[in-house]
Amino acid sequence: MLYIGPHTSIQGSLEHAPLQAHSLGATAFALFTKNQRQWASKPITEEQAHQFKKACASLGFTKAQILPHDSYLINLGNPDEQKRRQSLEAFVDEMQRVSLLGLDKLNFHPGAHVNKTDRESCLRLVSQSLDEAMDRVEGVMPVIETTAGQGSNVGSSFEELDMILQFSKQRNRLGVCIDTCHIFAAGYDLRSEEAFENTMQKFERIVGFNYLQGMHLNDAKSTLNSHLDRHESLGKGSIGIEAFIRIAKDRRFHAIPLILETVDSSLWAEEIALLKKNSEGVDA
């Protein structure tokens, strides 16, 4: 089954996320469990968690179809120890919030070296932070998102994703999320059938599809290898609609959350319907 849906809003209540997703015909969704641009947050109450779980169950969303995202402030690879500890504590809190909601994944951006250390040292700090977080919270899988490589951000190459996995002492508890806009901006072409398959073969060889726990489906305003993170609606950017239709038709990308972070929310229902239509019969 194709699990496709948008990054939803929790404005007003956590259960708004599954309600919004359902209203758009989605079979998956993403959400922040708190304000993504603030360090502090109120704890999730038992009643809030109950209402969220109840809404998901009534609308047919299982944890396999939901991919929560952490705060944009978190940098697990910050070489400043005090700032890294602040990020780590916030990440642990995010994992605990996910667990309270009955979910089992937390999507995150790996971090940045902020021009104060080398890339490998930063990647080692990310892995070290993840190991500590996983020691403190059971049952939640950190899912590393590919980046566009803007500024000092790490994780823009499949090799760097693999390094995070290899440096971790618990890599069997880690996953990966491919963002199509990000990898395109990082230099991985998706436009033609041949280019798409070459990119996916590289991912399989270097990282492995066994680690793939979700995707963000976004077209790109930027050009190939631009290292600019600029999302666009499907088919309206530099990647083109055919790449997303290929994903919908490919069994490798079924049964993991495929999340739209495209720029025009008025098109989400149309984008979801298009991809669902193109996935029909694949799993038959």
Show the CA angle centred on residue 237, arms to residues 232 and 240, nearest 5°.
120
Provide CB contacts within 8 A for 92, sequence distance 6+. 133, 136, 137
Q: Which residues, in sequence order, are bridge partners of residue 67?
A: 30
From 7, 22, 69, 97, active-site residue = 69
From 131, 145, 160, 162, active-site residue = 145
Task: Report in angstroms the alpha-carbon separations of 157 from 151, 170, 185, 201, 238.
Answer: 14, 21, 11, 14, 19
From 15, 94, 179, 219, active-site residue = 179
Query: Any catalytic annotation for residue 109?
Result: yes
Report the run of H or E that residue 58 belongs to, with start and end. helix 46-59
Say which DSSP state 192 is in.
S
From 216, 230, 232, 271, active-site residue = 216
From 182, 188, 211, 219, active-site residue = 182
From 72, 193, 197, 205, active-site residue = 72
What is the dihedral angle through the alpha carbons of 247, 252, 254, 255, rounded to the nearest 10 degrees? -150
Query: DSSP alpha helices (H): ranges in 103-240?
Result: 119-136, 158-167, 180-185, 193-206
Query: Any catalytic annotation for residue 229?
Result: yes
From 15, 131, 162, 229, active-site residue = 229
From 22, 97, 109, 230, active-site residue = 109
From 89, 104, 132, 261, active-site residue = 261
Strand order in the sheet with 29-32: 3-6, 257-260, 212-217, 175-179, 141-145, 105-108, 66-69, 29-32
Query: Any catalytic annotation for residue 189?
Result: no
b/e per residue, 166-176, with b = 16+ CB within 10 A?
Answer: ebbeebeebbb
Query: Any catalytic annotation for residue 37?
Result: yes
Task: Kindly report the number of other CB atoms within 10 A of residue 280's CB atom.
Answer: 11
Query: Any catalytic annotation for residue 72?
Result: yes
Query: Any catalytic annotation for residue 227?
Result: no
Is 242 strand, coil or helix? helix
Terminal-to-terminal C-alpha distance of the chain = 9
Q: Which residues, in sequence order, are bridge partners of residue 220?
A: 231
Query: Any catalytic annotation for residue 7?
Result: no
Query: Any catalytic annotation for residue 69?
Result: yes
Residues involved in catalysis: 37, 69, 72, 109, 145, 179, 182, 216, 229, 231, 261
